[in-house]
Amino acid sequence: MEQTQYEKYYVPEQSWWPIVGAVALFLIAVGAGLTVIEISNDESGFSKYILFGGLAILLVMIIGWFRDQINESMSGLYSAQLGRSYRQGMAWFIFSEVMFFAGFFGALFYARVISIPWLGGASNNAMTNEVLWPTFEAVWPLLSTPGGTETQAMGWFGLPLINTLILVVSSVTLHFAHVGVEQNKRQQIVVWLAITIGLGLIFLALQGYEYYYAYDTLGLTLQSGVYGNTFFLLTGFHGLHVTLGAIILIVLFGRILKGHFTPDEHFAFQAGSWYWHFVDVVWLMLFFFVYIL
Amino acid sequence: MSTITDTAGNTNEHDHHDDHHHGAPKGIMRWLLTTNHKDIGTLYLWFAFIMFLVGGAMAMVIRAELFQPGLQIVDPNFFNQMTTVHGLIMVFGAVMPAFTGLANWLVPMMIGAPDMALPRMNNWSFWILPFAFLILLASLFMEGGGPSFGWTFYAPLSTTYSSDSTALFVFSVHIMGISSIMGAINVIVTIINMRAPGMTLMKMPMFVWTWLITAFLLIAVMPVLAAAVTMVLTDKYFGTDFFNAAGGGDPVMFQHIFWFFGHPEVYIMILPAFGIISHIIPTFSRKKLFGYASMVYATASIALLSFVVWAHHMFTTGMPVGAELFFMVATMLISVPTGVKVFNWVATMWQGSMTFEIPMLFAISFIVLFTIGGLSGLMLAITPVDFQYHDTYFVVAHFHYVLVTGAVFSIMAAVYYWLPKWTGKMFDIRLAKWHFWCSLVSVNVLFFPMHFVGLAGMPRRIPDYALQFADFNQWISIGGFAFGLSQLIFLALVIKACRKQGEPVTDQVWDGAEGLEWEIPSPAPYHTFDTPPVVR
C-alpha cells in the first residue's frame, strides 16, 4: 500500500471515440432492425446500407480507440492501478458473456427437461398431450416436432470431436505463447501464437463445413424445431465468439511482431488469452450438452 | 466517520497532466467528449429526468383514457403501446439511468477516487442510451405502431402477434443492455480497485455497498435479457420455435427466462435506494447508522435471494405445486433482510435529534410508503391468493408503491441531499416544500385506490373497465394528473439550481452529514482527488 499511496492517478483526456461508437451502434441497431423487417416482408430496401455504414464506423472507432490506447500504453502513461482496472474490467466482461450463454443453455435445458416431456404428457400434463398432439413422442434429440417438422441429429463422433480436440489443443498452445510473453522469449511467442491462430481458423472452417453438412445432408436447419434452434443459436454465437477471439489473436500477433509487450506489462495479451480460454470452455459445455447428451 | 489527509503535497512535480487542473472545457463538446465522472453523472441525471417526464406523459394518456369507463380518447392498440413504452421508459430510461448518474457523481467522491476506473467507456455507456430510446420512441410512429405487448414482452404477444417494428424494439433493448453492462463494469471496478488507502470494504458508505451489489446483479442478468430478446427476434423473424409448442418450445419458457432477468432487475432498481436512505436518515437524526454490518449483509442476502424467486411472477402459468411452494417460500424469505433494513432505519431515528429538511421528508415517506409496497408484495407472494390478484390493479398498486414512492422518491431525496454539494448553492426550499407535499398527497391519491379496484378484480393493461370501478378510477386519474403536474415544480427547482441561484452552502452543507464527499469544497471541484486521500 505504501507504493500506491504516492502513485499518481491517471485520468484520460477527452476522446472522440465514445461518441463515434455511440453513432455506430445507433446506425447498426436501426440498420439491423429495418433490414430484418424488410427481409421478413420480402422487400428490398436501403436499410442494409445503414447497417454496413454503422459497422464500418464501428470498425473505424475500434481501430482508432485501440490505437490511442496502445500509444498511451507504449509511452508509459499508464499506472499499475490502471492495469488492474483493465484486468478486472475484462474479467467482469467475460462474466457477462458467460451469463449471455447461460440464457441459451437455460433454453436448451428447459426444452429438454420440461417443455418436451410435458408435451409428451409428463408431470400433470396428460391432457396437454391428449388434446394437442396425441401422437407426439417426447425424445431428445427432437427429430420430429409436434408440428411435424422432421430432421436428423448431428452426431458427436467425427467432426465435432475433431473440433473439440482442435480447440482444447489451441488453448494449450496459447498458454505456451503466454508463458513466452512472461519469459520474454519472442521466438516461442511467435511460433505458438501462430499455431493457435491456425487452429482457430481450422476450427472455424470445419464449423462452416459442419453447417453445410447439417443443411445439405441432415436437413438440420435453424427452423428444425427446438433442437435445431438451440443447436444453431448456441454453436452460432459460439462461432461468432471464436471469430472475434481469432481477430483479437491476429491483432496480438501483429503487435508481437512489432515488439510490443513486456513480461510485466501485457494486459492486451492477457485479456485476449482469457477470452480464448473462455470460448474454449464454452465449447466444452456445448460439446457435452448439445452434441453428446 | 473518516478524515482526509492529503498526500498530494510533494507529488505535484511529477504531474504529467497539468491541463487536468484547469476545470471544465466549454461548449457542447464538453458534454459529447467528456471523460469526467461528474459531467457524465449530470448527463445521466438529466437524461433520466427527461425520460421520466416523457414516460410520465404516457401515463397521463393512460389515466385520461381510464378517467371514464368505455373507450374515450385513444384506440386500444395505442393504449397498449402507451402502457408498454411507459413501462420500458420508466425502468430502463428513468430509474436505472438516474441511479447510474448518482453512482457516477457520488461513488468516486465517497471512496476517494479521482474519477471512475474506465472514464472513456463511461462516456460511451451514457451516449448510447439516448440513441436507444430514440429508436424505441421512433418505432411508435411506424406503420403498425410500436411495441404493444407490455414491458415484459411475453411471447407470443411479442412474437406471433406483434407489430412489424418489433425488430427495432429488440435492437434498442440490446443497446440499453450494453449500456447497463458497461456502466456496471465501470462501477464495480471503480469500487474494487479505486478506493483510497484505508477505505476498507466494511468502512465503505452504504450507497457504495448497495451499488457494488447492484452492479453485480446488472452484469449477471442484463445478458440474460439480451438472450431473451434475441430469441424473440429469431422466433418472430427467422422461424425458430423457442416459444412455440408446435416446435417443441414453450411460451412459458419465455416467462422463465424473462423473469430470471426481471426479478433481480427489480432489486437493481431498489438496492441503490436503500443506500441513499441509509445516508439521509443518519444525517438528519444526527446518529450513526444503526447496524451498519447487518445492512451490508441484508443487502447481499436480498441480492442472492433475488436469483431464486423469479417464478412468483408466474404462479398462474400451471407450474407443478412443488415449484409454486418453493417460489412462495423463497419470496417470503426476502422479507427478512428487508425487514432488517426497515428496522435499522427506524432504530437510527430512535432517540435521534431529528430535523425535517427536504431530503429527510422524502426519506421518511420512502420508509413508510415503500413498506406499504413491501407488505402488498408479501400478499402477492402467497401462491393461493395470488391466483386472485394476478394481473389485477393490485399488482399495479404494489409495484408503483415500491417503484414510485420507493425508487423515485429515493432518487428525489438523493437529488435534494447532494444537489447543494454539486452546485454549491442551496436549492429553493419553498419550491421544494411545494414539490414534496404535492407529490406526497397526489401519489397516494393516485396509487392507493388501485389496491381496492385490484382486489375487486379490475384487470391491468385494459383500456376499459366495468362500471363499478368508475369512481375510484376518477380519483386515481385526478391523483395521476396532480402527481404529474407536481413534477413540473421539481423541474423548475432543478433548472434554478443548475443556474446556480440560491444561498451559498458550506462544505458540510447539512449539519450532521458525514463522509468524504462532505469534506471537499462545495461545489465539488471538477477533479476531486489528484492523489488518494487517506481514510482513517
CA distance A190 to A195: 9
Contact A145 B17 (CB under 8 A): no
Asked if B72 has any chain A CB less than 8 Å from its own CB, the reply is no
Contact A16 B33 (CB under 8 A): yes
Of B25, B33, B236, nearest to A15 by CB-CB distance is B33
pLDDT of residue A8: 59
Contact A145 B246 (CB under 8 A): yes
CA distance A149 to A25: 37
pLDDT of residue B10: 36
* Residues of chain B contacting A123 with CB distance shorter than 8 Å: 320
If you measure CA to CA, which chain A residue comes closest to B167? A33
pLDDT of residue B22: 52
pLDDT of chain B, 536 residues: tens digit per residue: 344 444 443 333 333 444 444 567 888 899 999 999 999 999 999 999 999 999 999 999 999 999 999 999 999 999 999 999 999 999 999 999 999 999 999 999 999 999 999 999 999 999 999 999 999 999 999 999 999 999 999 999 999 999 999 999 999 999 999 999 999 999 999 999 999 999 999 999 999 999 999 999 999 999 999 999 999 999 999 999 999 999 999 999 999 999 999 999 999 999 999 999 999 999 999 999 999 999 999 999 999 999 999 999 999 998 999 999 999 999 999 999 999 999 999 999 999 999 999 999 999 999 999 999 999 999 999 999 999 999 999 999 999 999 999 999 999 999 999 999 999 999 999 999 999 999 999 999 999 999 999 999 999 999 999 999 999 999 999 999 999 999 999 999 999 999 988 999 999 999 999 999 999 999 999 988 877 887 86
pLDDT of residue A3: 39
Q: What is the phi/psi pair of residue B164, to 5°?
A: -55, -35
Whose cell is 466482461? That residue is: A93
* Residues of chain B contacting A8 with CB distance shorter than 8 Å: 11, 14-16, 530-531
Cell of A287: 460439446
Contact B11 A6 (CB under 8 A): yes
pLDDT of residue B8: 40
Contact A77 B118 (CB under 8 A): no
Cell of B179: 449500456
A-proximal residues of B, 306-325, CB under 8 Å: 320
If you measure CA to CA, which chain B residue comes closest to A38? B164
Gap from A155 CA to chain B (nearest CA, Å):
20
pLDDT of residue B67: 97
Q: What is the phi/psi pair of residue B529, to 5°?
A: -115, 120
How many C-beta atoms lie closer than 10 Å to residue B317's C-beta?
A: 15
If you measure CA to CA, which chain A residue comes closest to B187? A89
Contact B189 A227 (CB under 8 A): no
* Residues of chain B contacting A34 with CB distance shorter than 8 Å: 167-168
Q: Which of A7, A30, A92 to mutate to test the interface with B (most CBs of B within 10 A)?
A: A92
Q: Which of A3, A4, A5, A237 to mutate to test the interface with B (most CBs of B within 10 A)?
A: A5
Of A11, A28, A92, nearest to B35 by CB-CB distance is A11
If you measure CA to CA, which chain B residue comes closest to A227? B248
Gap from B186 CA to chain A (nearest CA, Å):
7
ipTM (interface predicted TM): 0.95
Asked if B227 has any chain A CB less than 8 Å from its own CB, the reply is yes
CB pairs under 8 A between A and B: 249
Q: What is the pLDDT of residues A217-269, one digit of tens each?
A: 999 999 999 999 999 999 999 999 999 999 999 999 999 999 999 998 899 99
The gap from C-alpha A106 to its chain's centroid, in whole angstroms, comes to 17
- Structural domains of chain A sorted by starting position, each given as residue range(s) with its CATH number in brackets: 13-77 (1.10.287.70), 81-292 (1.20.120.80)
Instruction: Report the pLDDT averaged over residues A97-120.
Output: 96
Contact B249 A111 (CB under 8 A): yes
Asked if B506 has any chain A CB less than 8 Å from its own CB, the reply is no
Q: Are the C-beta atoms of residues B202 and B226 closer than 8 Å to each other?
A: no
Contact B193 A88 (CB under 8 A): yes
Gap from B192 CA to chain A (nearest CA, Å):
9
pLDDT-derived band of residue A21, with 50, 70 and 90 as boundaries?
Answer: very high
Q: Which residues of B are tagged catalytic?
A: 86, 115, 151, 179-180, 263, 265, 267, 278, 312-313, 338, 341, 460
Paired with B535 in beta bridges are B4
Contact A96 B181 (CB under 8 A): yes
* Residues of chain B contacting A104 with CB distance shorter than 8 Å: 227, 231
Contact A88 B197 (CB under 8 A): no
Of B185, B221, B240, nearest to A92 by CB-CB distance is B185
DSSP labels, B425-466: B---HHHHHHHHHHHHHHHHHHHHHHHHHHHTTPBTT-S---
Gap from A147 CA to chain B (nearest CA, Å):
4
Gap from B456 CA to chain A (nearest CA, Å):
31
pLDDT of residue B530: 77
Of B118, B181, B234, nearest to A85 by CB-CB distance is B118
Asked if B345 has any chain A CB less than 8 Å from its own CB, the reply is no
Contact A89 B534 (CB under 8 A): no
Query: Model pTM?
Result: 0.94
Asked if B120 has any chain A CB less than 8 Å from its own CB, the reply is yes
Of B32, B245, B530, nearest to A9 by CB-CB distance is B530
Q: Are the C-beta atoms of residues B373 and B401 closer than 8 Å to each other?
A: yes
Alpha helices in B306-357 (DSSP H): 321-333, 335-349
Contact B530 A116 (CB under 8 A): no
pLDDT of residue A293: 85
Q: Are the C-beta atoms of residues A269 and A189 closer than 8 Å to each other?
A: no
Contact B223 A25 (CB under 8 A): no
Q: Are the C-beta atoms of residues A226 and B242 closer than 8 Å to each other?
A: yes
Paired with A203 in beta bridges are none
If you measure CA to CA, which chain A residue comes closest to B219? A96
* Residues of chain A contacting B40 with CB distance shorter than 8 Å: none
Nearest-5° Cα angle at B152, B102 to A31: 80
Gap from B519 CA to chain A (nearest CA, Å):
19
Nearest-5° Cα angle at A208, A206 to A214: 100
CA distance B115 to A161: 49
* Residues of chain B contacting A73 with CB distance shorter than 8 Å: none
Q: Are the C-beta atoms of residues B265 and B91 closer than 8 Å to each other?
A: yes
Inform me whether the pLDDT recorded for A128 exceeds 50.
Answer: yes
If you measure CA to CA, which chain B residue comes closest to A88? B189
Contact B192 A88 (CB under 8 A): yes
| Mean pLDDT, chain A, integer | 93
Inform me whether the pLDDT recorded for A9 exceeds 90.
Answer: no
CA distance B442 to A179: 66
Asked if B226 has any chain A CB less than 8 Å from its own CB, the reply is yes
Contact B241 A5 (CB under 8 A): no
Q: A48-57, A123-132, B526-535 — which one is most confidently predicted on average?
A: A48-57
Contact B20 A118 (CB under 8 A): no
3-state secondary structure string across B345-386: HHHHHCCCCCCCCHHHHHHHHHHHHHHHHHHHHHHHHCHHHH
